Each structure stands twice: as structure tokens, then as C-alpha cells.
Amino acid sequence: MDAAATPSATGAAAEASRGRRSHFRAAVFGGMLVLAMAAMALAMSKAVRTSGVWGGLLVVYAGVSIAWDWQRTRERSEPIARTLRLQLLHWGAVFVGLLVLLLFEHSGILGRDAASGVALLLLAVVWIYLRLRSHRAASR
């Protein structure tokens, strides 16, 4: 085996792995968008309680976000504690925000449709912030 062929083969394998991971993440993101639209439709129909819809979506979004940052941190051989602390702090704040929205909805300050729109916006903004933060940290 030629010694010069090994690094290029390793580089090609790494590139292929990154490509598969990118396609997988795009598919997961597409699934999350579909899930968000379904959650919005469910929350606006009066068939289910909004707390279950937004709580379930919060768990999915937080789980995917934590898993992606965990993988990125492990690949870069960085300590995981800081990443977990930041993720849990942000998603905990979203949980509190959703509780306040549900309180407003229950007390009649916000209607069901308005509360659902704000809940989806809150989830989206935090998701985008954490993804941008993760990309910025990865480019360092």
C-alpha cells in the first residue's frame, strides 16, 4: 500500500462522512419543520390541550439540539459540561416562557391561536440562536 494514498483515502472517507451527516441533519431539520406545522395545526384545533403539544415539541427540539451540540463538542474534544449547561439553561428558559404563555392562555389574556403562534416563535428563535452559536463555535 502506498503511503501517499492513505491520507487522501482518509480525507475522502471523512468528506463522505461529513456529506452523509449533512444530509441526515437536513432530513432531521425537515422533519422538525413538518412536526412544527403539525403541532401548530393541533394546537389551533380544539381537539387537544396546547400544553401537551408545545411540551412535546419542546422535548423534541431540545433533544435534537442537545444531541447535535454533544456530537460537535465530542468531535472537537472539548469539555461537555459548558455545552450542556448552556443548552439546559436556554431550554429551561423556553420551558418557563411556555408556562407563562399557557398561563396567559388559561386566564384569557391571550387566545389559543395567538398563544400557539408565540410558542412556535419562541421555539424557533431559540433553535436558530443555538444553531448559529454552534456554527460560530465550530468555525473557531
Cβ pair 116, 43 in contact under 8 A: yes
Q: What is the pTM of this model?
A: 0.76
Rounded to a whole number of angstroms, the CA Rg of the chain reads 19
Predicted confidence (pLDDT) per residue in 76-107, tens digit: 888 899 889 989 999 999 999 999 999 998 89
**Confidence (pLDDT) at 50:** 83
Query: Residue type for 96, please?
Result: V
Each as own residue / partner, the long-range contacts of residues 131-137 (CB below 8 Å, 24 or more positions apart, any chain) are 131/65, 133/86, 134/68, 134/69, 134/72, 137/72
Q: How far apart are CA 34 and CA 32, in angstroms?
A: 5
Of residues 28 and 16, more confidence is placed in 28
